[in-house]
Amino acid sequence: MAQYIIEGEQELSGEIKVAGAKNAALKILAAAILLDDKCTITNVPQIEDINRMIELLQDLGANVSFSGSTIEIDTKEINKTTLDTDLTHRLRSSIMLAGPLLARFGKITMVHPGGCIIGQRPIDFYISGFTALGAKLKDEKESYSFKTDKLIGTKIILPRISVTVTESLMMAACKAQGTTTIINAAMEPEIKALANFLNSCGAKITGAGTPEMTIEGVESLTGGTYNIIPDRLETGSFVVMGLITGSEIKITNCNPNHLQTELLMLEKAGAKLEIGKDYIITKKSKIKATSITTHEYPGFATDLQPLFTVLMTQAEGQTLIHEAVYEGRLFYTDKLNIMGANITMCDPHRVIVNGPTRLYGRTLEGPDLRAGMALVLAGLVAEGQTIIGNVYQIERGYENLTERLTKLGVKITRQD
């Protein structure tokens, strides 16, 4: 199993370019199933999750070619509607193929999707949403099967905000008969990006990025070209990296407007930032304890909570981190304590961080994508050498990480 070897106590300098948004690219690739013609997607991040999505599409019969960050996809020859079991187990976003396949072929069979283990992630909202659109579920011991003669537009009220459910129902409704309204829809920038892509192909979606979306079904969707938006989570990770190492680095090709709450909280914590239209420069800052509560967009992103928590281990004072989205997402803090942090778990949703504390290099396993990246940042300021295993999880969401960090002066190597 591959691992990262990091030499700690490093100060960085230079520029780092943000890649395309993982959570936009995955959904737009899935949406290609709805199109009558091939499409070209640019600024696609070169990460493991994208590789798994491509493999799933190819297994279904799609023709996919890619060069660097550009992908051409033609789904006209898709000839099956059952998702590969092994690939589905490895990719949470495999669930995003359900809506498009159901809309195009009237059926889909799949096992429960995989991904990061960060709490309960049931698919009951998908089931109720597809059922409301007219699909029938056959729930077998090892898989789920949906079938429908025709999806019919309807009003769907989501009991709880969910990004992927909002996106799945939006894609399915694009080819439903009539009009679908989604109430309590998620508002993330990636949802608006998906809607913009679909609208550029002929869909009729309004209200994306607001709590109420309307989708008027259409008979067909054409192909086209679309450029993936910058990854706000990678942007936030690099901002924290600059701050925790006391470094001046410039994060380019980003959209600071997608991180307004996170940047506000960082500035409240004492972060000195120069924020431009498409860049952020971190300055050497004295960080003070600042409590946060995660929330759906435009609140503080749950995916950036582990990075902020690591930063708070170096802050002056006591911080309450309230993870309100996923239970169990804070269990990685035990690994930070092994490195020397002083973090007390109050319950599965809350921890108290006492800082600043000196961190020491250790050999650890990355538990999931964002917590794994948090351990990388901890290793940058730790005394001695940090070895992080299970880096596949990190590489699911960060493109060419060791190469890009090395250009900033990070002493990091990847060992197979």
Q: What is the structure's pLDDT at 114?
A: 65
pLDDT digits (tens, 9 = 90+) for 54-71: 999 999 999 999 899 999
Q: How confident is the model at residue 1 (pLDDT cuts 50, 70, 90)?
A: confident
The rounded mean pLDDT for the chain is: 95
Given a cut of 80, whether residue 141 has pLDDT beyond it is no
Please report the domains of the chain, with CATH numbers, ordered by start residue: 3-19+230-415 (3.65.10.10), 22-227 (3.65.10.10)
pLDDT at 8: 96
Q: Residue 120: which pLDDT band, with cuts at 50, 70 and 90?
A: very low
Mean pLDDT value of segment 110-132? 75
The residue annotated as part of the active site, out of 39, 116, 174, 201, is 116
Q: Quick check: 119 pLDDT over 60?
A: no
Provide the whole-model pTM. 0.95
**pLDDT value at residue 199:** 98
Beta strand 179-183 with 155-157 is parallel
Q: How many CB atoms lie within 10 A of CB 409?
A: 15
Buried b / exposed e along 251-281 (16+ C-beta atoms within 10 A): bbbbbbebbebbbebbeebebebebeeebbb
Question: Would you call 39 a catalytic residue per the annotation?
Answer: no
Instruction: Give the span between the Cα atoms of 241 and 271, in whole angstroms.
Output: 12
User: Is the pLDDT reported for residue 220 higher than 80?
Assistant: yes
